[in-house]
């Protein structure tokens, strides 16, 4: 019973983090003008992994994996109510 509550709470927290992180990210269309005009090789384009946008993408990927793992575990039926 306690494990179910902990996993459910963790699942809710991961859902909230995913929502916030996705809302903080810039849209892909924001950089479209620079790509069309030939300015794709900028400092921010080269160092995207170290920028805030790169960090947000990494956090999103980790949270999405956690989301699916927790969803599968919570729905497997191993944990009885």
In this prediction, residue 81 carries a pLDDT of: 58
Global pTM reads 0.68
Q: What average pLDDT does range 59-81 have in this prediction?
A: 87
15 pLDDT band, cuts 50/70/90, is: very high
pLDDT of residue 22: 92
Nearest Cα neighbor of 48 from 38, 60, 58, 39 is 58
User: Three-state DSSP class for 42?
Assistant: coil
Q: Which residue has the tokens 């993408």?
A: 57
pLDDT of 64 reads: 96
Q: Does residue 50 register a pLDDT over 80?
A: no
Going by pLDDT thresholds of 50, 70 and 90, the confidence category of residue 25 is confident
CB crowding 27-63: b at 16 or more within 10 Å, else e: eeeebeeeeeeeeeeeeeeeeeeeeebeebeebbeeb
């Amino acid at each position: 019973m306690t494990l179910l509550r902990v996993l459910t709470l963790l699942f809710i927290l991961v859902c909230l983090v995913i929502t916030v992180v996705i809302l903080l990210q810039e849209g892909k269309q924001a950089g479209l003008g620079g790509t069309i005009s030939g300015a794709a090789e900028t400092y921010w384009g080269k160092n995207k992994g170290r920028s805030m946008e790169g960090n947000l993408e990494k956090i999103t990927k980790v949270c999405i994996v956690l989301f699916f793992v927790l969803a599968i575990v919570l729905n497997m039926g191993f944990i009885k109510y």
